[in-house]
């Protein structure tokens, strides 16, 4: 079968992956599920994997097939699989968990001590077929297109995971700031809007992204390249600040906004990454706000997000590309030329 493989780390997205012919995955365990990939979302994390940014955090053995946002059709299963059968359409949580370690027993599937992460620590879905497990697949409702929903397997549940934490501390009349209305941010904005009565302020340097934010429910949109964000947030919130900030960029410039725009006792959620947090400890003491890290959402949160999608609360903006265009997609994303989410269709 065809697979887009990373052979060596590089900062050149133009030839980061090669299309190789490799053996198709086979059922080797009783809970295995083999999925014919219909759609696989391209993520900024894929660019970071190509650059080698994850080597200090997880073990990676090259060559490896990338792709962690996968959905498709079941073509084979292990003998003990009962959740799905051949022909079923599924979305695949990127993490295959053991189910028996302490974090799994506690429902914290993202902390599994024996996890395999498609496209990050083991072969992913930029290929004709994907090897996964019964614990990682969710059957799709009738009428939900696997290609359209594929990016929710990571982008969607990461955004939802952060939004779900944020809305727990949002009351009617509070303000939520969403920084970066890109592939994750436009999902997170809709989740906050669907699950709270907060006023939403969207920040993005692109006019098209700000227009999208308005269409998706933001009451205010701001351009950080031409406006004083702290001053604008003060005006919007009567100088209280935003009770919750969801930072889908995670650059030095966006994390640095926290002391000036986050309300006392509020949270600055970091979802995007690549930058740093450099703030005086006194700023956190004075405002008693928190920086909150966010990783991929849990299996159950993917189930919840599928329900939001099925009921038209979350609309994913996608563009489709053939497997052979994969390096072109990486370059476009690197230069900010993709609105919403790119989906590879092997």
Side-chain half-sphere CA neighbours of 58 within 13 A: 19
Contact indicator for 323, 126 with CB cutoff of 8 Å: yes
Query: How large is the average pLDDT for residues 262-272?
Result: 96
Side-chain half-sphere CA neighbours of 309 within 13 A: 28
Q: CA-to-CA distance for 163 and 317, rounded, in angstroms?
A: 18
Instruction: Look at residue 202 and tell me whether its pLDDT is greater than 90.
Output: yes
**Any residues with CB less than 8 A from the CB of 125 and at least 6 apart, and which?**
35, 37, 40, 65, 67, 68, 69, 70, 72, 92, 118, 119, 346
Give me the CATH code for the 2-154+296-345 domain, please.
Answer: 3.90.180.10
Query: How large is the average pLDDT for residues 333-337?
Result: 87
Contact indicator for 42, 90 with CB cutoff of 8 Å: no
The boundaries of every CATH 3.40.50.720 domain in the chain are 159-293
Q: What is the pLDDT of residues 304-323, one digit of tens each?
A: 999 998 888 998 888 999 99
Per DSSP, 57 falls in state: T
List b or e across 53-63, with b for residues whose CB sees 16 or more CB atoms inside 10 angstroms: ebeeeeebeee
The alpha carbon torsion through 178, 276, 96, 85 (nearest 10 deg) reads 30
Q: What is the pLDDT of residues 18-61, one digit of tens each?
A: 999 999 999 999 999 999 999 999 988 999 999 999 999 999 99
Q: What is the pLDDT of residue 325?
A: 96
Q: CA-to-CA distance for 228 and 235, rounded, in angstroms?
A: 11
Going by pLDDT thresholds of 50, 70 and 90, the confidence category of residue 337 is confident
Q: Tell me the two tokens of residue 320.
A: 């489709």
Query: Which pairs with CB-CB distance under 8 Å and at least 24 residues apart come from 51-59?
Result: 51/9, 51/10, 51/11, 52/9, 53/274, 54/120, 55/9, 58/117, 58/120, 58/121, 59/121
Contact indicator for 80, 28 with CB cutoff of 8 Å: no
Rounded to the nearest integer, the mean pLDDT of the chain is 95
Q: CA-to-CA distance for 18 and 4, rounded, in angstroms?
A: 5
* Runs of H (alpha helix) within 294-342: 299-310, 326-334
Query: How large is the average pLDDT for residues 157-167?
Result: 96
Of 3.10.20.740, 2.40.50.1020, 3.40.50.720, 3.40.630.30, the CATH number of 159-293 is 3.40.50.720
In residues, how long is the chain?
346
Q: CA-to-CA distance for 235 and 224, rounded, in angstroms?
A: 15
Q: What is the pLDDT of residue 340?
A: 78
Q: CA-to-CA distance for 192 and 170, rounded, in angstroms?
A: 9
Q: What is the pLDDT of residues 54-113, one digit of tens each?
A: 999 999 999 999 999 999 999 999 999 999 999 999 999 999 999 999 999 998 888 999
The boundaries of every CATH 3.90.180.10 domain in the chain are 2-154+296-345
Contact indicator for 346, 126 with CB cutoff of 8 Å: yes
The dihedral sign for the CA sequence 208, 343, 275, 15? negative
């Amino acid at each position: 079968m065809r697979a887009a493989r990373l052979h060596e780390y590089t900062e050149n997205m133009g030839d980061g992956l090669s299309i190789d012919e490799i053996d198709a995955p086979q059922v080797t365990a009783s809970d295995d599920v083999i999925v014919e990939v219909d759609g696989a979302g391209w993520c900024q994390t894929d660019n970071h994997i190509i650059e080698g940014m994850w080597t200090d955090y997880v073990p990676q053995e090259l060559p490896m097939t990338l792709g962690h946002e996968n959905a498709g059709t079941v073509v084979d299963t292990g003998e003990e699989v009962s959740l799905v059968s051949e022909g079923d359409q599924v979305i695949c949580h990127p993490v295959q968990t053991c189910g028996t370690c302490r974090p799994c027993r506690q429902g914290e599937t993202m902390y599994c001590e024996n996890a395999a992460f498609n496209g990050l620590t083991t072969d992913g879905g930029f290929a004709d077929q994907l090897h996964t497990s019964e614990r990682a697949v969710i059957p799709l409702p009738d009428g939900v297109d696997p290609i359209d929903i594929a990016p929710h397997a990571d982008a969607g549940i990461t955004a939802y995971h952060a939004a779900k934490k944020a809305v727990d501390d949002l009351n009617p009349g509070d303000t939520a700031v969403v920084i970066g209305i890109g592939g994750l941010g436009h999902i997170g904005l809709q989740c906050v809007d669907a699950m709270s009565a907060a006023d939403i302020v969207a920040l993005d340097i692109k006019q098209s992204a700000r227009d999208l934010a308005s269409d998706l429910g933001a009451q205010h949109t701001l351009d950080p390249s031409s406006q004083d964000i702290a001053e604008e947030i003060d005006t919007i919130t009567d100088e209280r600040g935003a009770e919750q900030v969801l930072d889908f960029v995670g650059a030095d410039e966006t994390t640095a906004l926290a002391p000036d725009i986050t309300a006392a006792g509020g949270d600055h959620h970091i979802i995007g990454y690549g930058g740093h947090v450099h703030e005086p400890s006194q700023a956190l003491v004075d405002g008693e706000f928190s920086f909150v890290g966010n990783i991929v959402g849990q299996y159950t949160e993917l189930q919840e997000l599928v329900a939001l999608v099925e009921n038209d609360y979350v609309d994913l903006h996608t563009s489709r590309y053939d497997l052979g265009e994969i390096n072109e997609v990486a370059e476009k994303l690197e230069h900010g030329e993709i609105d919403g989410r790119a989906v590879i269709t092997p």
